[in-house]
Structure 1
Amino acid sequence: MNTASHYKLKHFIPWTKHNIIKMLILSVIPTLLFYFLGWKWLAIPWVPVALIGTATAFISGFKNTQTYNRTWEARQIYGAIINNSRSFGIMIKDFVRDDESEKVLHQEIIYRHFAWLTALRFQLREVKIWENINSKPYNREYLKYYKVPEWESSLDEELKSYLSETERLYILSTKNRATQILAQQSEQLKELNKQGFISDYNYVALEKQIKELYDQQGKCERIKNFPYPRQFSSINLYFTNVLCFLIPLGFIGELSKNIENYGDWIIWLTVPLSVLVGWIFLVLEQIGESTENPFEGNANDIPITQISRNIEIDLREMLGEKNLPPAIQPQNNILM
């Protein structure tokens, strides 16, 4: 997530420079052929360009709306995780009662919740084949401005702070670690209810919180494991590229009508005008692409690492701890 008021041009232009180069090539070549070799047939009417441009603008707007909705839904899900985590923490603190060991029990259960947050964010940062963070050169280049914490450390090391050795090894042996951590959480609550440390009514309320956390995890997994439909993504890409190919030819056709009034040089306006118009459409496509997978490690991702750390700080304070981990700070205005 970018925390600045906007992307600075010194970052945005390099991120989209391949679009500029692409439009330069597509506009310079036909202009040279028209100007020096007299290939007049390259000049086409503006009407078909405008019609294709309208269709492209429509499908680009549709895609960007839908990919934004995916990102906003992901943020809403993590907002619910924040609220459920705080509720779960205070309920554990107030519902689990044992004069001799309740502080130890509180810490064990809440630390297991930290393990769930950690396992979930590691799972969400796993790279899928359809994601763009590593497949697109401009995204790989932009990684120099920030680090993805889940790619800099291992889940094994992170879980050592929250789980016992036996439980940690068991969780690491499972496929869906976050799911099994919540299952362990539920198992312990059941045992505490049997032992009388949690009343039946409070036990039901705590299990409802576990269910809510499962629901939020499932919603995250749905976004992570189901890409933006490929048919819509593909048609937007094809329409945009066809339009960018035709834009210079349309400008040549329009500008060639004014040669008698302004001279041959006016044809060269095709290059800057085509670059500008084509760049706009290509950037719209690129922005939609960078928004469609909100957990992939992109600079526009939901800051799940920062959110998880803030939850940990809140719950540690509930436990009365004073030695709190620092809040995650943005790197070059990018917060992960």
Structure 2
Amino acid sequence: MIVDKRLHLGLLVRSNLPVLSVLIAYDIVVTIAYSGLDWRFVSLPSLPLALLGSAIALIVGIRNTTAYARWWEARTLWGAIVNNSRSLARGLVTLSDDEALQSRIVHGQIAYALALRCHLLRQPGDAMLARYLPPELAAACRTASNVPVAIQMALGRELAAARSAGGLDTVAIAALDQTLGAITAAQGGLERIKNTPLPRQYSLLPLMFIRAYCVVLPLGAVASLGLATPLGSGLIGFMFLVLDEVGRDLEDPFENGVHDVPMSAITRTIEIDLLQAIGVTETPEPIRPKDGILM
């Protein structure tokens, strides 16, 4: 996630440079044909450019609003996991005097958060799991189709064993189980976003319309702009291309890119907070933005 408040215009230009270069070259050809070679037939001044531009802006705006809603929902669900992870640790510390149980559940919840991040990014997380899970559970997770769910099941069994041993009463178990249920519900929402991309029409149609508009734009504007056509047409085309790129960047928040929800920073926050909740003083350092990007 880009957290730098400065506008990185150079990054926007570089990301659109191939298409922008073709667009400006085309604008120059149209300008030379009209102003240099006096080919008046290339001019189409009756094109309703303002109407077409407004329609395309509306379509792109709808797509971008939908893409941002997906991104923000993903961030909200991760916030729910952070809050409920803290609640789980607090409940254990206040409702149980068994420090061994507190340590096992807290370490398991940290492993769960790390595993969920890897699960959404489709990355292996064996090394991270080995740091916080017992060897037999870490080995079992390697064959699980959904590692976070496997860890949640193991945490549930730990709580059930604590109840049977008298370490937790029924009320405490119910409260902790409700917290685990909220975490599982948040995971389901994250998986829905990951596994259900935006319909391809939302991506393809705006891009097709923008490129078609960039083709007819210099034809409709060359009569009035003259030699300034490459500048005016190129600037408008660049604006539309950037708007389209914004939507594309936001529609998939779990692609390990600079516009993703910062899951590494979020899981590190969970890791630090839960370790401190059980009295661990030596914790990892928080993840800081690097070059204005928080991952």
Q: Structure 1 length as normaliser, TM-score?
A: 0.84
Check the 8 A contact 1:19/1:279 in 2, yes or no. Answer: no
1:14 CA drift (Å): 2.1
Q: Which residue of 2 aligns with 1:130?
A: none
State the alpha-carbon separation in 2 of the partners of residues 13 and 237 from structure 1. 17
Q: Which residue of 2 aligns with 1:107?
A: 103
State the alpha-carbon separation in 1 of the partners of residues 81 and 7 from structure 2. 29
**Residue deviations 1:212-263 (CA, integer Å, cap 9, x gap):** 01000001111111111212222111111111111111111333xxxxxxxx
1:186 CA drift (Å): 0.8
State the alpha-carbon separation in 2 of the partners of residues 45 and 320 from structure 1. 74
Check the 8 A contact 2:110/2:274 in 1, yes or no. Answer: no
2:230 paired with 1:271? yes
State the alpha-carbon separation in 2 of the partners of residues 331 and 96 from structure 1. 40
Counterpart of 2:95, as a letter, is F
Counterpart of 1:180, as a letter, is A
State the alpha-carbon separation in 1 of the partners of residues 128 and 256 from structure 2. 18
2:62 paired with 1:92? no
1:307 CA drift (Å): 0.8
Q: Which residue of 1 aligns with 2:154?
A: 184
Change (3 A) 1:164 1:46: farther
Structure 2 gap segments, 5+ residues each: none
2:175 paired with 1:205? yes
Counterpart of 1:35, as a letter, is S
State the alpha-carbon separation in 1 of the partners of residues 8 and 207 from structure 2. 26
Q: Which residue of 1 aligns with 2:7?
A: 7
**Residue deviations 1:18-59 (CA, integer Å, cap 9, x gap):** 343132122122222323443322101254322221110110
2:219 pairs, out of 241, 249, 260, with 249
Counterpart of 1:223, as a letter, is I
Q: Which residue of 2 aligns with 1:296?
A: 255
Counterpart of 1:242, as a letter, is A
2:59 paired with 1:53? no
Q: Structure 2 length as normaliser, TM-score?
A: 0.95
State the alpha-carbon separation in 2 of the partners of residues 245 and 12 from structure 1. 21
Counterpart of 1:166, as a letter, is E
1:325 pairs, out of 270, 284, 294, with 284
2:160 paired with 1:160? no
Check the 8 A contact 2:34/2:40 in 1, yes or no. Answer: yes
2:24 paired with 1:24? yes
Check the 8 A contact 1:3/1:335 in 2, yes or no. Answer: yes
State the alpha-carbon separation in 2 of the partners of residues 185 and 22 from structure 1. 57
**Residue deviations 1:103-138 (CA, integer Å, cap 9, x gap):** 222111110101110110011123xxxxxxxxxxxx
Change (3 A) 1:46 1:178: farther
Counterpart of 1:196, as a letter, is G
Structure 1 gap segments, 5+ residues each: 127-149, 256-266
Check the 8 A contact 1:19/1:283 in 2, yes or no. Answer: no
Check the 8 A contact 1:248/1:274 in 2, yes or no. Answer: yes
Check the 8 A contact 1:46/1:254 in 2, yes or no. Answer: no
Check the 8 A contact 1:63/1:232 in 2, yes or no. Answer: yes
Counterpart of 1:170, as a letter, is A
Q: Which residue of 2 aligns with 1:120?
A: 116
State the alpha-carbon separation in 2 of the partners of residues 201 and 77 from structure 1. 26
State the alpha-carbon separation in 1 of the partners of residues 202 and 11 from structure 2. 28
Q: Which residue of 2 aligns with 1:311?
A: 270
Q: Which SS does the other structure have where 1:160 is aligned?
A: helix
Change (3 A) 1:200 1:65: same
Superposition RMSD in Å:
1.5
